[in-house]
A and B are shown apart, each in its own frame.
Chain A
Amino acid sequence: MTLDTNLTTEGFEKLVREHQAMVFRTLTRLTGSVERVDDLAQGVFLRLYRALPGFRGEAQVSTYLYRIAVNVAQEEWKRRRREDRPLVSISEDTEWPFEERLRDPAKNPEELLEERELAALAEEELQRLSDSERAVLVLYHQEEQSYEQIAEALHMPIGTVRTHLHRGRKRLRDGVAARQEQTRSEVCNR
């Protein structure tokens, strides 16, 4: 969908309705929290509205929205660091328990538990990555964007996108492996 810079209120409402799930999903993953996602998403759409006169007609709405969402998520991280506030991580979200997210009838309880722990560790380690690595990983894997689309959304050369993707995946995997090892050694020492 391309962007019409002369949107009416009804037209803008339709645009918000079409893209709201994507913006909420991206913000939730990028900030690692369900806290304030409503306010942040609102901020994303209002920024899009303000920027409409400067946009070129042929541009994809989703590209602009991803770019704004990534910027808003980074600002939210800075705000949290300033206020030094603990956050409700996705893995602790009681409205969306992991049991529900990982429910798979083909798996036994032990496998489900292992999967649940791994998912929680991966979510935590994702929040330890740099802003750019996290944004690239989320856009590539969760949002299924191509290298070219990510490069356009984040204003990065394609080579940098590739580097962030490979390095981010490696750091994430190594982080999860280290945490698993630490947990195992703690259990053995007890």
Chain B
Amino acid sequence: MQPLEDEPRMIDGEAMTAQMRKLDAQVVEVLERKPRVVIPEGFAARVASQASTLRMPASMRATRFGVTAVAVCAVLSAAAMLVLAPRTVSHDMFWMALQWMLCGQFCALTAWLALSRHETE
């Protein structure tokens, strides 16, 4: 009989009587008995041939495509910020607003990338 790793003498605050302990052991014995199974001849070959005809779901490819697209956009945003940086020296309202917008976009994209990578791990 496989004992519980921290077999308690009490279960839910209730002391087990000798009769209950005997019944518990009998129930565990039943649970530990592995059912006999009949596996059809050639089951593995049949499943493998069915699996080989399956195509990977389209959503899987779309998700990977999406991640790549987001990564490219983040790189482009960073590059645009660098290119536009000299124009913000004069504190011109238009260039400053554009720079802040690109900065916000870059942060949002990198945060999305980091979260999506965390979820797939």
Q: Are the C-beta atoms of B23 and A9 separated by less than 8 Å?
A: no
Stretch of B38-46, B74-82, B87-95, B110-118 on the interface side: B38-46
What DSSP secondary structure best describes chain A's contact surface? helix
Assess A170 versus B37: contact at CB under 8 Å? Given A54-B120, A141-B31, A177-B23. no
Report B9 CB to chain A, min CB distance, Å: 12
Q: Size of chain B's interface in residues, with CB distance under 8 A?
A: 40
Our pick among A45, A166, A169 for the contact of B51 (Cβ within 8 Å) is A45
Please tell me if the beta carbons of B31 and A142 are within 8 angstroms of each other in the complex: yes
Q: How many Å lie between the Cα of A137 and that of B33 in the bound state?
A: 12
Q: Are B27 and A176 in contact (CB under 8 A)?
A: yes
CA distance A96 to B34 in the complex (A): 12
Q: How far is the CA of A34 from the CA of B27 in the complex (A)?
A: 21
| Number of A interface residues in the complex (CB < 8 A) | 53
Check A50–B48 contact: CB distance below 8 A: no
Partner of A165, one of B4, B23, B60, B120: B4
Which residues 119-152 of A have a CB within 8 angstroms of B? 119, 122-123, 126, 137-138, 140-142, 144, 146-147
The answer to whether B69 has its CB under 8 Å from any CB of chain A is: no
How many angstroms from the CA of A42 to the CA of B46 in the assembled complex? 9
Residues of B within 8 A of A (CB): 2, 4-6, 8, 11-12, 20, 23-24, 26-28, 30-40, 43-52, 54, 56-57, 60, 120-121
Residues of A within 8 A of B (CB): 9-10, 12-14, 16-17, 20-21, 24-25, 28-29, 34, 37-38, 41-42, 45-46, 49-50, 53-54, 56, 90, 95-96, 101, 115, 118-119, 122-123, 126, 137-138, 140-142, 144, 146-147, 162, 165-167, 169-170, 172-173, 176-177
